[in-house]
Amino acid sequence: MNRAVAPPSGWPPPTVAVLAGRQVELVPLAERVADRYFEEFPEDAERYGAAARAWEIHDTLHCLRWAILDVEGLASLGREIDWLAKILQAREFPLEHLARNLELAADVVAEQLAGRGLDVARRLRECARSVRAA
């Protein structure tokens, strides 16, 4: 089934975040996550059409920023992911895919960001477990 899904619009997602005083470019991280995501879930590209990758990157950019803000003590990744999960569930998006996306994001962050990046990866993995448990 191919759903006619519009690409993201409105307020653009974040493209940078600050972790331990250093600016982190989020777009390259989100693109790596998207590559891995669609390797595992190619059916989502078919199901959601041309907008699938744009939405994957859009949502991942938010998740990455929320995770960094969480580690910096400025936001709650768990609260933001709970909110996102409710929206995705209402749109009949499989929450197992959200959980796996968070794990893939954790893998990419652990590979690409030293130091506090491991804390960010840990928080992403914790939230993936919470999504699965809900």
How does pLDDT run across 40-67, given as a tens digit for each residue? 999 999 999 989 999 999 999 999 999 9
Are 47 and 2 within 8 A, CB to CB?
A: yes
How many CB atoms lie under 10 A from the CB of residue 106?
24
CA-nearest of 75, 53, 87 to 120 is: 75
Q: Which residue, chain included where needed, has tokens 């938010």?
A: 62
**Does residue 1 carry a pLDDT above 70?**
no
Are 106 and 125 within 8 A, CB to CB?
A: yes
How does pLDDT run across 6-40, given as a tens digit for each residue? 888 878 999 999 999 999 999 999 999 999 999 99
Give me the sign of the Cα torsion angle 26, 27, 28, 31: positive
> How many domains does the chain fold into?
1
pTM above 0.85, yes or no: yes
Whichever domain contains 108, its CATH number is: 1.10.490
- Provide the domain limits for residue 118: 17-133
Domain assignment of residue 9, yes or no: no
> What DSSP character marks residue 112?
H
